[in-house]
Homo-oligomer: A and B are copies of this chain.
Amino acid sequence: MTPSVTSAVTDGVRLLRETVCRLHAELVRYGLVAWTAGNVSGRVPGADLFVIKPSGVSYDDLTPESIVVCDLDGDLVDGDLAPSSDTAAHAYVYREMPHVGGVVHTHSTYASAWAARGEPIPCVLTAMADEFGGEIPVGPFALIGGDDIGRGVVGTLRGHRSPAVLMRNHGVFTIGADPRAAVKAAVMCEDVARTVHVARQLGEPLPIPQTDIDRLHDRYQNVYGQR
């Protein structure tokens, strides 16, 4: 860790490494990831840093210490392992979207199937209206290795209610105020991707009027859960 990192930040990093390590187990529990194909990151409070999964490490072998720290250019700042190969995309989101505190990337089956067809998931479930406020949009086809994926994620989600984007022929990126919220969005994205897929297999789901989608989304964002 560079000397510029204060002890408050050091504590924040330690806690965040534990949180982000633990949240990867949720990706496994909900069947969103195979082998090592999925990652969670979280922005360090009060610093231009984020923590992220190391590349190619099994979820079983993840420990808080193995989680690496990067700056907002995606360069390694602290940690013994190489960061996730998706680090540049996460970094781009943190640079461009200051309100985002957590990012998740998966290739979860049903969401990736919609992404392979380049088709947004229509909002035909009240749970989708609640969580996504409308359809889940599709982002562009983009190659890994530069800012293309990050630019596609940000360009699609900016100004959109949905915290999830289906990157064409690729998979899902979700954002949230913190890593747990981004993981929740990834879990709910796959859940509604599957239910709407299954509904569509035998006919057309009934539409929900836009005014009802708006009311459901507004209520859920303001009333649900513990205050």
Binding site for B on A (CB under 8 A): 30, 34-37, 54-57, 81-82, 85, 107, 109-110, 112-114, 116-119, 124-127, 141, 143-145, 168-171, 184, 187-188, 190-191, 194-206, 208, 212, 215-216, 219, 223-227
Contact = CB atoms under 8 A, between A and B. Distances in A.
Nearest to A185: B35
Contact of A202 (B82, B144, B197, B216): B197
A75 to B, nearest CB: 15
Nearest to A122: B116
Nearest to A30: B34
Q: How many copies does the complex hold?
A: 4
B205 A109 contact: no
Contact of A198 (B109, B199, B216, B223): B109
Nearest to A184: B35
Contacts of A205: 116-117, 169
Given A125-B170, A171-B127, A202 B200 contact: yes
A191 B200 CA distance: 19
A212 B113 contact: no
A117 B116 CA distance: 21
Contact of A227 (B82, B107, B109): B82
